[in-house]
Structure 1
């Protein structure tokens, strides 16, 4: 989603300060973090959303039942 006004509205609806959300979106304060996440996604094979990386080893791709997430968490030693 690239509509800043909509993101600000959604942030405010979620309880965040709308002005602060707007300022953050207008800045590049977290650009390096975003680029690092994008790079990690490419390296592990993320090709679409939603994709969840569990324990930096297991990808859960698409809408999945809770059992799939629980299994990934168990395998990764996170549960």
Structure 2
């Protein structure tokens, strides 16, 4: 049983790191979109903002997986 919990813990940690990377990509893309918008390049800014949104969705889903894995691990240790 310990092997399964160890695997779940590794998946939760990997999902956490992946979620952080997605959120950082979201921030960078949104900042780039703001710069493009300031340069009156509205179409490019909208496209970057849309891509940023998908990065944010990926980050939130990854964090949800990480939290679910940690809660499962904590519940089994109690």
TM band (smaller chain): under 0.3
State the TM-score, normalized to the length of structure 2: 0.26
Tell which has more relative contact order, 1 or 2 (C-alpha 8 A, sep 6+).
2
Length-normalised TM-score, structure 1: 0.25
Give the structure with the larger helix fraction: 2
